[in-house]
Structure 1
Amino acid sequence: MNKMDFSKLVITIALVLVLFLCMDGSEGVSNSSGSLSVGDINPPFAHHKVNLSVYYDSLCKSCALFIIKDLRDIFDSSLISIVNLRLVPWANAYINNNNNSISCQNGPDECELNSLESCALNLWHKVDIQYELISCFEFLAIEGTINTWKEDCLNQLGLPEKPFLNCFNMGNGTQLGKTYINQTAQLYPSPLSVPWVVVNNQPVGNDYANFAQYVCKAYRGDAVPEVCNSP
């Protein structure tokens, strides 16, 4: 092969490589674009849930009735599918600056139950478990049989005792209570009564029994539960 033929061969190979790279690059772009589908692009607000916060005291009868009866509707009606539910005990408790202890509106028994419920909220992060356990506690509180919480609540729900008792006996529930108290103190406006129900940072005041209407009104997603279409 002479020098001229060799040069032509090199140029030919170079052109083939350039052409191949261009085709490969364009194919990559095509595949990348083709891999996108409507299902890959979330419509605006499609998964935006409404924040529903309930500030309460564990030995407050109106709070207990709201949790046991009214709040259960969010599970029975599938409203929970569009709600981030947050239960916050210790609403009317305060921290004593002199000794850093906590005083509760309804006395030491309420502080103890608040501590139990704080442990429940922080050990189990699934909202349905949190709700069922706290609802059970509140039911026993109304019945005046709260001392049977271990058998009637933990055991009935099939929840392990050891981590729960460790949390309570070590005083972690009370320490968590200080966090809840500080969070409640930062609310604006301050709670005027309990339960204090807040929907997307807006309190509903004394109309808390109709909280579902406020949740439906605040929701901006596409998958609207049937309850929001009810007259």
Structure 2
Amino acid sequence: MASARLFFTCLITCSMFLLTFPCFAANQKVTLSLYYDTLSISCATFIVKNLAKIFDDNLITIFNLRLVPWGDVYANKSNNSTAFCQHRPDQCKLNSLQSCAIDVMHDVNKHFALIYYIEFLAIEGRQKEWETCFRSLGLPKKHILDCYNCSNATKLEQNYGNEIMHLNPPLEFVPWLVLNNQPTGNDYENFAGYVCKAYKCKIVSMT
């Protein structure tokens, strides 16, 4: 019953959007990837005010959410372990911390909660207080900090950077949302409608 209600809610929402996404295999969830800069106000605002709603209305149950903290970071071609960040050094630190959180805490509910809290602080200019997020959420930080303090964080960031370099069409700005390999472009705030329409398409393909 819950799935039926969710489907019809999506069906109503999607009727407001004209963009058509191709149908995908019925045994796969819709995949939404968010490429973002941890200290970009537009990215932080989108995460806190828009993306967080998917956990309130249970929309998260119909798609896989991938968070890719990278943004305006440029690798030194002569030294792949070095990165230059637009908001450095805080941006590089938070990129690595959030990358480690995603890698260590596989549960999207947990790592999104931490990222949400950090981005909320970023909006208020209090990103240096990021350690308070662990205490407030009751999340252990040891494994995340272990990842951050070793080469794992660098490898994760390099993998994200390589992924972004090979996006087709290429990333133009952040936040940059890609739904089943199709970017939403400037209409990223209306991502829920695109997700629902893609999900409806999958359901139709089952009939």
The interval holding the TM-score normalised by the smaller chain is: 0.7 to 0.9
Deviation at 1:169, TM superposition (A): 1.8
Query: Partner amino acid for 2:194?
Result: Y
Q: Distance in 2 between matches of 1:198 and 1:182?
A: 16
Where does structure 1 differ by over 2 angstroms across 4 or more consecutive aligned residues? 44-48
Match of 1:30 in 2: none
Match of 1:193 in 2: 173
Q: Distance in 2 between matches of 1:109 and 1:150?
A: 13
Question: 89, 107, 128: which one pairs with 2:69?
Answer: 89
State the aligned residue count.
179
RMSD of aligned Cα (Å): 1.8
Larger Rg: 1
Match of 1:99 in 2: 79
- Structure showing the higher strand proportion among its residues: 2
Deviation at 1:171, TM superposition (A): 4.2
Aligned 8 A contact 1:94 1:103 in 2? yes
Deviation at 1:54, TM superposition (A): 0.3
Q: Distance in 1 between matches of 2:72 and 2:144?
A: 24
Determine whether 1:114 maps to 2:63. Answer: no
Determine whether 1:178 maps to 2:158. Answer: yes
Deviation at 1:194, TM superposition (A): 0.5
Question: 81, 101, 108: which one pairs with 1:127?
Answer: 108
Deviation at 1:174, TM superposition (A): 2.6
Q: Which runs of 5+ in 1 are unaligned?
A: 1-43, 223-231
Deviation at 1:172, TM superposition (A): 2.4
Match of 1:169 in 2: 149
Q: Distance in 2 between matches of 1:200 and 1:165?
A: 32
SS in 1 for 2:64: strand
Q: Distance in 2 between matches of 1:118 and 1:48?
A: 24
Change (3 A) 1:221 1:135: same
Question: 64, 74, 79: which one pairs with 2:44?
Answer: 64
Aligned 8 A contact 1:115 1:173 in 2? yes
Aligned 8 A contact 1:48 1:82 in 2? no
Deviation at 1:74, TM superposition (A): 1.0
Deviation at 1:106, TM superposition (A): 2.1
Q: Percent identity?
A: 53
Question: 42, 51, 57: which one pairs with 1:77?
Answer: 57
* TM-score in terms of structure 1 length: 0.73
Match of 1:36 in 2: none
Query: Partner amino acid for 2:198?
Result: A
Match of 1:31 in 2: none
* TM-score in terms of structure 2 length: 0.81
